[in-house]
Amino acid sequence: MAISIIVAYRGVVYPIQLALSATLVDLHAQLEQLTSVPPLNQKLIYKGRRVDSALADTGFKDGMKFQMLGSTSQQVSAISAADDEHAKSERIMRGRALKPQVKVRSVFLIPSIMHQ
């Protein structure tokens, strides 16, 4: 026998069938298949509280509704790449700020009218 739960993630509702003996690990694995969010990045919310193993140990009940937060591996990589680029830019700007300022002086040559 199975139970039905609902998980909402980024505006999409996923109806999920779980065995009565399902664990939190089972739910995370099924959510990874549906959303591409790795289990370590998944945060499940039930009635305003984060789902932990204690809640899961009490058992899932038919009709439970969860909210999931999390990022896919690709999203995490993109954020990491953007952070790396920002850090590189900051290092360059700091290096430029530490260099002594060079004053540039313009020298105008006035043609001499005396050589006529």
**CA 69 centroid distance within chain:** 10
What pTM did the predictor assign? 0.61
Percent of the chain with pLDDT over 90: 28
What pLDDT score does 16 carry? Answer: 93
Q: State the average pLDDT for the chain.
A: 82
Spatial contact of 9 and 75, defined as CB atoms under 8 Å apart: no
User: Is the CB of residue 2 less than 8 Å from the CB of residue 15?
Assistant: no
